[in-house]
Structure 1
């Protein structure tokens, strides 16, 4: 039977790698393992994984640095595993490019849930494909263009390099311009979390999205508007 997805599990504790492998293989995922940061980085860049489970505290190069270096080259979804549950560490992980986090000690079932939630609508291969199809779904705004079939976002004629989750968030907002979405709605519809998840996840991804757009088009960045006390929307200039 064909495997559903290929996942890299990175943790310096063998028992955690073994536990995750057992649960993920039961779900028909193909698993590779790494126990050090440098090893994980090399594997992540050499292989097109569908998702990476990455421990924050690793010997040598830590998970934060591994995540940043992967992000320089690839948009592979990354879930950070961390014993540090403090908000500052989570936000730092998101800013490094992580799509999600799981705090140790964790339920293996929760990890499987989060893996499936991220893989459901995004994968590195789907995000990076640029094949031409007969009919494109393209959303065109004054300062922003989203080619959904190619998963390509451009502003001022320059392509913006987004992670899968950043892209999903932007595309979700762009499908309903000027409609305000609460953070709870975004967490449920973009992350597919009905009962897991931290609202700061949404805030941090919005912040990263604005920063990336702002580098090439301040006008495009300003389209992602905060509606205080409610949530966010993609605001179309009148």
Structure 2
């Protein structure tokens, strides 16, 4: 399953959710937003499609009746290399954590804002290189540099020393931007939780742990010995923008 080269071809999104009403409404939303949508209730329906399905992204509910949505997401990524955005219900703490640890491109909690869902899908497809959503090649003036990295605040993208993009999920981006806007200050965990969402109950301490771990893997030369994103035990985290401690 590879992204085709036609710049004019709208992105194709597989909507896999066992809630028929939600599935249909999301598919309609995507079509209104310029996408093609393939709506199906489970993974079996996806694999039953004739030929090789030309899908650019899979939007998967983690709770698919008797099926494990997370396992399906992993299988689709491994077999087809397709980007994954996962949907979770409010309070499904273990699902959100598993999704982060597995490496989904992004996840969104139900109920969600339709505009936010479309924006998240566009961002993931853009990072995946879909030609219809690619930015024109230019360098934004609205950026923050730390070490050899540059965070583009307009595009919400992180670039490494070689100029290549380092993909970030929405949660990773929001934390990194917040750290960069507050360099050198010890930020308590509760403040980071608050920054992630207006309802602090949607997030838990372990969510922060997972996001910090994933950020370190992407921005630190040696994640176990971080230079930029440092821990202050019992206090929180501090971000050092320079190369030294």
For the aligned pair, the TM-score class normalised by the smaller chain equals: 0.5 to 0.7
2:13 is the alignment partner of 1:17: no
Counterpart in the other structure of 1:172: 178
Over the aligned positions, Cα root-mean-square deviation in angstroms equals 4.4
**TM-score under structure 2 normalisation?**
0.62
2: distance between equivalents of 1:184 and 1:120? 27
Q: Who is 2:123 aligned against?
A: 123
SS at match of 1:225: strand
Instruction: Select 2:231's aligned residue among 223, 226, 232.
Output: 226
Conservation of the 8 A alpha-carbon contact between 2:16 and 2:39: yes
CA apart distance, 1:95 = 0.7
Q: Which has the larger radius of gyration?
A: 2
- For 1:194, the equivalent position in structure 2 comes to 199
Q: Which moved more, 1:200-209 or 1:30-39?
A: 30-39
8 Å Cα contact 1:223/1:234 also seen in 2:
yes
| Structure 1: gaps spanning 5 or more residues | 1-5, 103-109
Distance 2:54 2:238 in 1: 38
CA contact (8 A) 1:226 1:232 kept: yes
SS at match of 2:219: helix
> What CA deviation, in whole Å up to 9, does each residue of 1:169-223 have, x standing for no partner?
222212221223333333333x333244122222211111212334xx2279531
Distance 1:194 1:85 in 2: 14
1:100 Cα offset (Å): 4.2
Supply the distance in 1 between the matched residues of 2:192 and 2:71 (Cα, whole angstroms).
Answer: 28
CA contact (8 A) 2:59 2:85 kept: yes
Counting only pairs closer than 5 Å after superposition, residues 84-233 of structure 1 correspond to structure 2 as 85=92, 87=94, 89-98=95-104, 99-100=106-107, 110-112=110-112, 123-124=123-124, 129-133=134-138, 135-150=140-155, 151-155=157-161, 159-189=165-195, 191-199=196-204, 200-214=206-220, 217-218=221-222, 221-233=226-238
Counterpart mapping for 1:10-49 below 5 A: 10-11=16-17, 13=18, 16-19=19-22, 21=24, 33-37=39-43, 46=54
Cα distance 1:165–1:231, how it changes in 2: closer, same or farther (>3 A)? Answer: same
* Offset, 1:75: 5.8
SS of alignment partner, residue 211 of structure 2? helix
The secondary structure found in structure 1 opposite 2:238 is strand
Change (3 A) 1:125 1:159: closer
**How far apart, CA to CA, are the structure 2 residues paired with 1:126 and 1:179?**
33
